[in-house]
Amino acid sequence: TPLGKPKESQGPPGSVWPKELIALEPGESAWQVALKKIQELSDSGHPDPFMVADLGVLASHHRAFCQALPRVSPFYAVKCNSSVWVLRVLDTLGTGFDCASQVSLELGLGTAAPRTLADTCLGTRVCKNPWHLSQPSPRLVLRLLTKDSESIFPLSTKFGASLEACERLLKSARDLGLAVVGTSFHVGSNCQTPHNFRQAIADCRRVFEMGRAFGHDMSLLDIGGGFPGGEGCEPQFEEMARVINAALAQDFPEGSGVEIIAEPGRFYAASVCMAAVNIIAKKAVLESGGRRKLLYYLNDGHYGTFRLCLREPVPRMPIVVKELCSDPPLFPCTLYGPTCDAFDKLFREEVQLPELDVGDWLVFPSMGAYTSSMSSTFNGFPPASTYYAMEPELRPGMETVQKRKKKKGKGMNVSGQSE
């Protein structure tokens, strides 16, 4: 493919335009940006791994979320992809932030327009440090255990109170003078069935009734995250939303005075990024029975962008960036990362790929969720750089944020007040 020279990223005159931000020309796509970057890095002799984030995807996913779940306010789960550019776009779009730690909270607050803390950030992590709990009058949310065996990343073995335990907990809270204001749950990340949401919402209703019986002012329902994300994912978000809306209409009808929020991460971020990796070494193995198997060693792996992929049941299929004959023979391939650890491979299973060479590139789509935010520098390999592509429509938001960032340079403490 003739790829041409990558263009310089250009900001508005007089503005500080960060190098990692790429303003898309009309009609240009993030995929084209990735191809140009591949050419540029190959020419430079330093074909380092990188990601391209298409920030415009955030806006379309936000629209889809709000249209499909009109009664639910999204608080984006910062842990999923905590890049400041992702957070800034989401803040411009008006989401809140679900912050699991002090650093996430500071990121969320540092990003958010000066809305009030309560409007902007939630602190929903269950295992809080004791010193994070020393607030004068905390508003507590009781997290329920959910059925999550059909989620790719279950959470309920670690978190959540059973329905039986809820009564005792609500009573203890009342006796201690603590205010429980609602319930939350998380059906597990990448949930494969909407019915777990339906059951969890029905359980929450029972806990609301219990809470009210103990005198708690139950007014907040947090339906967590778990919505699938990424290209072609199943089940479809809209189908999931239909079941959730019906469950809400039944158990928390409009006019019930209950505020409903969610903490989506993967749904917003997964398809924002693609990851480009380069083959740095290769080994061909002839197995007993004559099967030819290929081992490709890549310059990004389990300790970098692909940390979570080893826990996924099905390997992801990359796009091969190479001109090949129309129907090339495929071989079972194991994809290894660059570190000295033999555990450092991208997927549990082999993938079927053509015969490739050192220096060839593979691009993995839908790598925006739990990738850069989980990568490490193990073995001295730095995390892949990310380039953020955005359409012209998003630029005004970014300029505003640039100005705001300068103002905030004075300092912002965690409670959101200027210093």
User: Residues interacting with ligand PLP, by CB under 6 A?
Assistant: 77, 80, 98, 124, 155, 186, 189, 224-227, 263-267
For ligand PLP, the closer of residues 273 and 279 by Cβ is 273
Q: Report the nearest approach of ligand PLP to the CB of residue 368 (Å).
A: 11
CB-CB contact of 112 with 120 (8 Å): yes
Residue with Cβ nearer ligand PLP (155 or 389) = 155
Comparison of 42 and 245: residue with beta carbon closer to ligand PLP: 245
Apex 105 CA angle, 161 and 395, nearest 5: 125
Minimum distance of ligand PLP from residue 241's CB (angstroms): 13
Q: Are strands 292-298 and 330-336 parallel, antiparallel or unpaired?
A: parallel
Spell out a b/e string for 370-402, using b for 16 or more CB atoms within 10 Å of the CB, else e. bbbbbbeeeeebebbebbbbbbeebbebbbebb
User: Burial code of 12-37, b = ≥16 C-beta within 10 A, e = fewer?
Assistant: eeeeebeeebbbbeeeeebebbbbbb
Token readout for 200 is 């969890």
Judge whether 85 and 21 are in contact, CB under 8 Å: yes
* Nearest distance from C-beta of residue 126 to ligand PLP, angstroms: 7
At 390, give phi and psi (nearest 5°).
Answer: -140, 145
Tell the smallest beta-carbon distance from residue 121 to ligand PLP (Å).
13
Query: CB burial class (10 A; 0-12, 13-18, 19+) of residue 70?
Result: exposed
Q: Which is nearer to ligand PLP, 47 or 228 (CB)?
A: 228
Name the residue nearer to ligand PLP (CB basis): 21 or 78. Answer: 78
Q: Encoding tokens for residue 381?
A: 């390999």
Give the number of residues written for the chain.
419
Give min distance, CB of 176 to ligand PLP, in A: 24
What is the number of the residue whose Cβ is closest to ligand PLP? 225
Place of tokens 């030819």: 292
Q: How far is the CB of 317 from ligand PLP (least distance, A)?
A: 22
Options 191, 204, 273, 340, the catalytic residue: 340
- Which is nearer to ligand PLP, 37 or 307 (by Cβ)? 307
Enclosing H/E stretch for 275:
strand 273-286
User: Could you give the CA distance from residue 93 to residue 399 in angstroms, rounded to a whole number?
Assistant: 14
Conformation bin of residue 255: beta by default, left when phi > 0, alpha when psi is -120 to 50: left
Q: How far apart are CA 352 and CA 197, in angstroms?
A: 35
> Does 340 participate in catalysis according to the annotation?
yes
Shortest gap between Cβ of 161 and ligand PLP (angstroms)? Answer: 14
Output 156 or 334, the one with its CB closest to ligand PLP. Answer: 156
- Distance in angstroms (rounded) separating the CA atoms of residues 243 and 224: 15
Which residue's CB is nearer to ligand PLP, number 77 or number 363?
A: 77
Rounded CA gap, 357 and 347, in Å?
Answer: 20
Q: Residue 118, SS3?
A: helix
In the chain, what is the straight-line distance between the N-terminal and C-terminal CA atoms, in Å? 53
What is the rounded CA–CA span in Å between residue 298 and residue 345?
A: 9
What is the closest distance, in whole angstroms, from the C-beta atom of residue 203 to ligand PLP in the complex? 17
Which residues are CB-contacts of 117 (< 8 A; sequence separation ≥ 6)?
109, 415, 416
Please list the active-site residues.
340
